[in-house]
Amino acid sequence: TIDPAMLAYLNGNTNSKSTPNENYGRELQELFTIGKGPEIAPGNYTNYTEDDVKAAARVLTGWRNDATNINSYFTLTRHDTTNKQFSADYGNTVISGSTDATGMTEINAFLDMIFNQQETAKFLCRKLYRYFVYYVIDSAAEANVIVPLANILRTNNYDVAPVLATLLKSAHFFDPVNVGCMIKNPAEVSVGTCRLFSVQFPDPADYVTQYDHWKYLRTQAAGMQQDIGDPPNVAGWQAYYQVPQFYEIWINSDTLPKRTKFTDTLLTPGYKKDGFTLVIDPLAFVLQVSDASNPNIIVSEFAQLLFPVAITDNQKAFLKNTLIPGLPDYEWTSEWNAYLADPGNATKKTAVKSKLQELLSFMMSMAEYQLT
């Protein structure tokens, strides 16, 4: 709340007793902690009211940021020293105004008031649920998952780790209905693809070259509408909160082709800069399967590695035909064994590598690859 960057970002540094600024007092409640809930009356959002926003702004008066030393400080003469009355949503709490330097501690009472609300814990747990499980939270999920997680969160003084440990080890998390139902965000597409294929990056000692290649991933994610470190507004990316689409927003006529172009580029020819090529090695990747000489096993185990959901036998047959179009299985087996016997032979290497590239290119263009 009093981080100098936040004070600058949401106008806390201009919030004074003469000109209260409600920006951060509103966003703190609406976006970062308790959530407003449905509007049930003019100025009443279920979990807090417009008067609570005004009272919050008054509590937060007097804080400023030092852009030179990058810190924050409290100025008593800019602080509203009167009492701050909150609504019944907060138990009619009154935060007593202070006429001396202790006024800077009013913020502690204000934050304690917010975090003592069960709705705050539930709001935060819903955010975690939507990030890790699914965006639909029905009445059963609310009662059986959200409420118990909220209790764990409050019991542990809002330490998130025990909540995540409980959620990610739960039977609910591994329920087939909750697997593969989310769309990868752009960072997961760019960074996740590199991790999946163990793409080699420049030596860390060559930090300029390494930085340029990490920058490539960042710019690719930005083109897919997730510029890391630069969210579009204070609420963040729409895919994390916008009802009813949520992460379906990641996919549109602009971003989907960019996802495919990115994976195709990594497959061939790779991203070249500073004398280094960022590229997927399909020959190294295929060695992960149990029998690389069997095209059926390649397709089946590639699907397990690339997709979070099972694909049909018809899809597998189509993919095998992508690998060896119109050819019997033994043709691939012969080519693969010939390559293994003479890996330095460029012709034999190209024969299997190009086929694997074609298969992987198609698989990463499938809808299933966009899921997580």
Q: Do 235 and 36 contact (CB within 8 A), yes or no?
A: no
Task: Please name every residue paired with 41 in a beta bridge, in sequence order, or none if there are none.
Answer: 44
How does pLDDT run across 291-323, given as a tens digit for each residue? 999 999 999 999 999 999 999 999 999 999 999
Which residue in this structure is represented by tokens 């024969």?
A: 351
Residue 250 pLDDT grade (very low, low, confident, very high; cuts 50, 70, 90): very high
pTM of the entire predicted model: 0.89
- Identify the pLDDT of residue 52: 98
pLDDT in tens, 18-43: 999 999 999 999 999 999 999 999 99
Residue 280: band (very low, low, confident or very high) from pLDDT cuts 50, 70, 90: very high
Average pLDDT over residues 243-267: 97
Is the separation of the CB atoms in 260 and 194 below 8 Å?
A: no
- CA angle, 362 as apex, 360 and 363 as ends, to 5°? 65
SS3 156: coil
Cβ atoms of 45 and 127 closer than 8 Å:
no
Query: pLDDT over 70 for what percent of the chain?
Result: 100
Residue range 119-131, pLDDT digits in tens: 999 999 999 999 9
Residue 299 has a pLDDT of 98
Q: Which residue has the tokens 């036998």?
A: 313
Token readout for 175 is: 């329920």
pLDDT number for residue 313: 98
pLDDT band at 366 (very low <50, low <70, confident <90, very high): very high
Q: Which residues of 39-63 are buried (b: 16+ CB within 10 A; e: fewer)?
A: eeeeebbebbbeebbebbbbbbbbb
Residue with tokens 């814990």: 121
State the Cα–Cα distance between residues 264 and 260, nearest whole angstrom. Answer: 6
Share of the chain above pLDDT 90, in %: 100
pLDDT of residue 71: 97
What is the pLDDT confidence band of residue 361, given thresholds at 50, 70 and 90? very high
Residues 42-96: tens digit of each pLDDT: 999 999 999 999 999 999 999 999 999 999 999 999 999 999 999 999 999 999 9
